[in-house]
């Protein structure tokens, strides 16, 4: 039996980042069921950071993560964690009010924005079919994230601080007695007074292992498709381009274009694959909303995004067992907001105050609590679309 101060379950961005934060305070063991870190959602993301993406609390955690991503601690990574990308949000007729709400919320948080007409937006992305849209919001500070460098940096710093990352270590049982958690895995048995559940799409399964009641934090599949850009176009400077109605986004990706039809199909926790129908939908949306033609799909993949019914963070002490800490429900914000989410989760694991910058952004134990009604009520299963105006 190996003893630690904290057992973290899951070796994606959530587990690695909270493992790093906790390793500044005690001995941490991060257990990952796959052979390497980041195999599931973390390795399948679009890898962008936008302060205008996701529901209100998540997007505030993006704002609070920006400083870490732009200026990580000395020696954290050998390359910049983020590089400029820019983001363009396109509104159709009837959607301008929503775009303006998003602009106001971003300005409140000090984010830079530029409002343009759809036609003027062609200077950012010349392939937008401007007849489809009316107005646009440009976010110059949207960045590409080097997810691999971020994950590697966290795990390297974790080890430097005396922590351990153990792959091929699927947690098979989890028991609490006399103030100690015992976790068994094919790589050995571990004990610690505090467990952090950072198992992505599997968080509910981990709660079941711990003997806790159902918590409404469940995975949904999303599809991504990569195709060759129009011959001769200089795509590298194009922004990540979204429509406000959330029917697609596309971005340059290593010399090609990645597009997602932003599908959201309920899924079991699994090795998610691209859905063929959604691949066709993605191509159709590119044809309708841009002047690009998709001739060959060079690559496609699926990934899980895990949500509470209100799409907001599930971070904090389990209402039945306060030494079981949730870091879950990241949806589409887990990489970009991971740094601040990890600090928030660590404050609960350490029984410390919520960091002041997060309090300043409106984060409270209650509004991210795993004990809030929609998370504990098994009947509150229908997900809502968690955009800013629903929560601001």
Residues that bind ligand FAD (CB under 6 A): 9-15, 31-34, 38-42, 44-48, 170-171, 198-202, 206, 222, 224, 260, 303, 305, 330, 332-336
In the complex with ligand FAD, which residue's Cβ is closer, 11 or 153? 11
Residue 118 or 368 having the CB closest to ligand FAD = 368
Closer to ligand FAD by Cβ: residue 36 or 364 = 36
Nearer to ligand FAD, 118 or 240 (CB): 240
109 half-sphere exposure, CB direction, 13 A CA radius? 30
Evaluated on CA atoms 49, 391, 247, 110, the torsion sign reads negative
What residues have CB less than 8 Å from 277, skipping those under 6 apart? Answer: none
Q: Rounded to the nearest whole angstrom, what is the least distance from the CB of residue 218 to ligand FAD in the complex?
A: 13
Q: How far apart are CA 274 and CA 276, in angstroms?
A: 6
Q: What angle do CA 291, 297, 303 make, to 5 degrees?
A: 105
28 or 118, CB closer to ligand FAD? 28
CB of 290 to ligand FAD, least distance (A): 19
**Structure-token pair, residue 225:** 């498709």
Closest approach of ligand FAD to the CB of residue 95, in Å: 22
- Least spacing, CB of residue 18 vs ligand FAD, in Å: 9
Cβ-in-10-Å burial (0-12, 13-18, 19+) of 366 comes to exposed
Which CB sits closer to ligand FAD, 103 or 224? 224
Closest Cα partner for 382 from 324, 307, 326?
Answer: 307
- Least separation in angstroms between residue 138's CB and ligand FAD is 18
DSSP 193: S
Q: How far is the CB of 105 from ligand FAD (least distance, A)?
A: 18
């Amino acid at each position: 039996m190996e003893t630690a101060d904290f057992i973290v379950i899951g070796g994606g961005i959530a587990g690695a980042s909270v493992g790093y934060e906790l390793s500044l305070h005690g001995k941490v063991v991060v257990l990952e069921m796959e052979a390497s870190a980041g195999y599931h959602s973390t390795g399948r993301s679009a890898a962008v950071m936008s302060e205008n993406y996701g529901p209100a609390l998540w997007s505030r955690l993006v704002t609070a993560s920006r400083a870490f991503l732009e200026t990580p601690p000395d020696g954290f990574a050998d390359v910049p964690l983020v590089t400029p990308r820019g983001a363009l949000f396109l509104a159709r007729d009837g959607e301008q009010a929503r775009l303006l709400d998003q602009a106001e919320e971003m300005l409140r948080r000090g984010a830079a924005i530029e409002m343009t007409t759809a036609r003027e937006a062609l200077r950012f992305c010349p392939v937008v079919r401007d007849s489809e849209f009316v107005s646009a919001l440009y976010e110059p500070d949207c960045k590409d994230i080097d997810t691999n460098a971020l994950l590697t940096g966290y795990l390297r710093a974790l080890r430097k601080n005396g922590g351990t990352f153990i792959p091929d270590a699927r947690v098979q049982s989890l028991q609490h007695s006399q103030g100690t958690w015992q976790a068994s895995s094919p790589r050995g048995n571990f004990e610690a007074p505090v467990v952090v559940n950072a198992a992505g799409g599997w968080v509910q399964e981990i709660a079941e292992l711990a003997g806790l009641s159902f918590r409404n934090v469940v995975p949904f599949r999303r599809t991504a498709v990569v195709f060759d850009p129009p011959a001769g176009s200089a795509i590298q400077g194009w922004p990540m381009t979204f429509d406000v109605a959330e029917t697609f986004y596309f971005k340059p990706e290593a010399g090609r274009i990645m597009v997602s039809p932003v599908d959201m199909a309920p899924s079991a926790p699994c090795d998610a694959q691209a859905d063929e129908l959604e691949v066709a939908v993605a191509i159709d949306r590119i044809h309708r909303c841009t002047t690009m033609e998709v001739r060959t799909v060079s690559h496609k993949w699926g990934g899980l995004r895990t949500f509470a019914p209100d799409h907001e963070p599930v971070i904090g002490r389990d209402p039945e067992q306060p030494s079981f800490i949730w870091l879950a429900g990241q949806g589409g914000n887990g990489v970009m907001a991971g740094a601040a989410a990890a600090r928030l989760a660590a404050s609960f694991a350490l029984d410390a105050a919520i960091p002041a910058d997060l309090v300043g952004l409106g984060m409270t134990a209650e509004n991210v609590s795993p004990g809030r009604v929609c998370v504990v009520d098994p009947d509150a299963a229908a997900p809502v679309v968690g955009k800013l105006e629903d929560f601001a």
